[in-house]
């Protein structure tokens, strides 16, 4: 008997990435196909199938070993039925039964979920959450997504819309978020919003090597803030220290609500912020009534850019 495997498919607004994932969560083969998000539903489905076919072509024995195909896609979607509802980033699909179509084409069970739920599950099963029962996961990058995994199962809520932790507000007078609310943690701590705060400080007259690294204010990205911070820049340190404070306030609320056994943080911003994790842990007691909040491990995720593939594959394991 070949070792059981799953295929994880990560659908974005411009590409489909797929990977063959073994029983320990290692990604052993990957493919990548562009997707025309504004084309027909059929053409977009063909892109997903092409990414999966590429895996089978490279690893023919996978046809016998693969027990299911998991997919993570931009929401809104229905994780219970595997139907893609009406994502703004994928106008090609409206009420599209993606899981059913994949099962029909490949003859194995298929599951569909959003990227943060899926990536959180992968961390709970194979990654930094292994050994813990209740896992809180956050992916901090271009947005802030979260997943709540209890006993290796995603917590969905009544209609599958639970765990939108990135849109928990920490300041009702704060900046307007992409979702329309004020002061969501995403509006403070996502990559683009970190860059925005740095830009505002520069516009107010602060001097910093961030601008030299970026070339211009318009070209300023979070990566430049990170580079400047590593080189000892005072303004970059100020921006990232504030970011750590915002995240600490937010995590304190999460701790009071869930008291998880571990908090796993992934995404590009998480890597940048990981040197602040110890001080964030130490600061939690000021933002949680839970006097033992600081004991909860705050750790970097196992999966980086492959979080979507690993997460999608993990959907078959819950």
Shortest distance (Å) from residue 181 CB to Zn ion: 5
According to CB under 5 A, which one of 125, 184, 299, 301 is a site residue for Zn ion?
A: 184
Question: How far apart are CB 178 and Zn ion at their closest, in Å?
Answer: 6
> Under rule CB under 5 A, how many of the chain's residues touch Zn ion?
5
179 binds Zn ion (CB under 5 A): yes
> Nearest CA to 238 among 185, 294, 183, 200?
200
Question: CB neighbours (10 Å) of residue 13?
Answer: 13
**Token pair recorded at residue 305:** 């850019």
Output the smallest distance, CB 177 to Zn ion, in A.
Answer: 3
**Element housing 149 (H / E):** strand 144-150
Using the minimum distance from each CB to Zn ion, give the nearer residue, 111 or 167.
167
Question: Does 182 contact Zn ion by CB under 5 A?
Answer: no
Stretch that binds Zn ion, among 4-12, 160-168, 211-219, 293-301 (CB under 5 A): 160-168
Q: Given candidates 111, 167, 199, 317, which one binds Zn ion under the rule CB under 5 A? A: 167
By rule CB under 5 A, what string of x and - marks binding of each residue 230-269 to Zn ion?
A: ----------------------------------------
Q: Name the burial class of residue 130, with classes exposed (0-12), middle (13-18) and buried (19+) by CB atoms within 10 angstroms of its CB.
A: middle
Does 181 bind Zn ion (CB under 5 A)? Our answer is: yes
DSSP 175: P
Q: What is the H or E stretch that residue 68 is in? A: strand 66-72
Q: Which stretch binds Zn ion (CB under 5 A): 36-44, 184-192, 200-208, 209-217?
A: 184-192
Q: What are phi and psi for residue 112, nearest 5 degrees?
A: -130, 140
The answer, yes or no, to whether the previous bond of 298 is cis (omega within 30 of 0) is no
Shortest distance, position 197 Cβ to Zn ion, whole Å: 16
CA–CA–CA angle 55, 264, 184 (5° rounding): 105
User: Which residues are near Zn ion by CB under 5 A?
Assistant: 167, 177, 179, 181, 184
């Amino acid at each position: 008997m070949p070792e059981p495997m799953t295929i994880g498919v990560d659908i974005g607004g411009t590409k489909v990435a797929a990977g063959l994932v073994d029983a320990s969560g290692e990604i052993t083969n990957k493919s990548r196909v562009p997707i025309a998000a504004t084309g027909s539903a059929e053409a977009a489905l063909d892109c997903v199938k092409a990414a999966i076919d590429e895996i089978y072509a490279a690893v023919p024995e996978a046809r016998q070993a693969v027990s299911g195909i998991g997919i993570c896609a931009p929401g809104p979607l229905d994780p219970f039925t595997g139907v893609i509802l009406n994502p703004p980033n994928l106008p090609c699909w409206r009420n599209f039964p993606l899981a059913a179509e994949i099962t029909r084409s490949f003859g194995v069970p298929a599951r569909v979920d959003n990227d943060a739920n899926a990536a959180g599950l992968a961390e709970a099963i194979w990654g930094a959450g292994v050994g813990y029962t209740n896992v809180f996961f956050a992916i901090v990058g271009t947005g802030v997504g979260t997943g709540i995994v209890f006993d290796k199962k995603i917590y969905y809520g009544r209609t599958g819309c639970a765990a939108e932790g990135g849109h928990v507000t920490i300041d009702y007078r704060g900046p307007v978020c992409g979702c329309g609310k004020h002061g969501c943690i995403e509006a403070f701590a996502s990559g683009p919003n970190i860059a925005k705060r740095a830009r505002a400080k520069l516009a107010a007259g602060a001097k910093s090597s961030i601008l030299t690294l970026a070339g211009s204010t318009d070209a300023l990205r979070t990566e430049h803030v990170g580079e400047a911070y590593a080189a000892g820049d005072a303004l970059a340190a100020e921006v990232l220290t504030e970011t750590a404070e915002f995240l600490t306030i937010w995590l304190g609320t999460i701790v009071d609500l869930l008291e998880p056994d571990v908090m796993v943080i992934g995404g590009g911003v998480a890597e940048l912020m990981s040197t602040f994790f110890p001080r964030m842990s130490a600061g939690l007691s000021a933002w949680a009534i839970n006097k033992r909040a600081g004991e909860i491990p705050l750790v970097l995720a196992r999966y980086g850019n492959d979080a979507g593939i690993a997460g999608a594959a993990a959907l078959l394991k819950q």
